[in-house]
Amino acid sequence: MSLHLISFKTCPFVQRAVITLKHKNIDFDITYIDLADPPDWFLEISPLGKVPVLKVDDEILFESAVINEYLDEITGGDLQPKEPLARAKNRAWIEFASNMLGNLYMMKMSKDEESYNKYRERLVSQLERVEKRLGDGPWFNGAEFSLADTAFAPFFRQDSVADGRLSVIDRATIPRTVAWAERLLALPEVRDSVVDEFEDLYLGVMEKNGSYSLQRLAA
């Protein structure tokens, strides 16, 4: 079976799939497209015009959470809780992480203080919820590493750009989240989930958008 991931270099949703693929040592090919100028063949196969898309031989899978469940299920299914309610809750938190990724993007691309603060406040309260949900670790569900970890990791990777100088995390108030994020960021599959030029590209997009967050950093 051949697996071919269609990616955009700064997309955190694609990074979730890359983390799962690397965590499971699954062979895959990757093609990067430019979402600002998507090729016709991509628009043809991507029902929502979004990445990630995973080509499984000639079949098309889309949506990062679905792709990750599929990758897990063809390799033993050890990244999802076995009990239905626990598995359902895991899925719900993965959706929560997707919402956080949206808010992080909106915060980073905000052009003014008001918009920046709006998304920042949302993220601060979402991080407080995550803090309450976390136990002693080491992972989101405790001892077992899961798809929730691969789903949240790109959030912390994006939050940590520029040596954490743009971070939304208040280290003093959410210590369990900070420790979990550090463990995730130290994993080789998380480190290698982004291209070498990731930070330059990510900060470049912010600059191009007139990001308030970047202006504040420079001031």
Q: Could you list the active site residues?
A: 11
What mask, x for binding ligand GSH by CB under 6 A, covers residues 58 to 77?
A: -----xxx------------
From the list 9, 13, 90, 152, which residue makes contact with ligand GSH (rule: CB under 6 A)?
13
* 188: preceding bond cis by omega (within 30 degrees): no
- Smallest gap, in angstroms, from Cβ of residue 46 to ligand GSH? 8
Q: How far apart are CA 84 and CA 18, in angstroms?
A: 26
What is the token pair recorded at 75?
A: 């390799």
Name which of 61, 33, 15 is nearest 158 in CA terms: 15
**188: which 2 tokens?**
């080789």
Q: Does 144 bind ligand GSH (CB under 6 A)?
A: no
201 is a contact residue toward ligand GSH (CB under 6 A): no
Site for ligand GSH contains 154 (CB under 6 A): no
52 binds ligand GSH (CB under 6 A): yes
User: For residues 8 and 24, is the Cβ–Cβ distance under 8 A?
Assistant: no
Does position 148 bind ligand GSH by CB under 6 A? no
Which 3 state secondary structure label does DSSP give 60?
strand
Please say which residue, 20 or 64, places its beta carbon nearer to ligand GSH: 64
In 3-state terms, what secondary structure has residue 5? strand
Candidates 7-15, 69-77, 126-134, 197-205 — which segment interacts with ligand GSH by CB under 6 A?
7-15
Residue span binding ligand GSH (CB under 6 A) among the ranges 50-58, 114-122, 140-148, 157-165? 50-58
3-state DSSP assignment of residue 41: helix
Instruction: Determine if residue 210 is left, alpha or beta; phi over 0 gives left, psi from -120 to 50 gives alpha, anything else beta.
Output: left
| Closest to ligand GSH by CB, 39 or 142 | 39
Integer Rg of the chain from CA: 17
Quick one: 187 exposed, middle or buried, by C-beta within 10 A (0-12, 13-18, 19+)? middle
**Segment 87-106, which members bind ligand GSH (CB under 6 A)?**
98
- The nearer residue to ligand GSH, 65 or 130, going by C-beta atoms, is 65
Identify the residue among 28, 32, 35, 81 touching ligand GSH (CB under 6 A). 35
Helix (H, G, I), strand (E, B) or coil at 55: strand
Q: Which is nearer to ligand GSH, 47 or 164 (CB)?
A: 47
Residues making contact with ligand GSH (CB under 6 A): 8, 11, 13, 35, 49-52, 63-65, 98
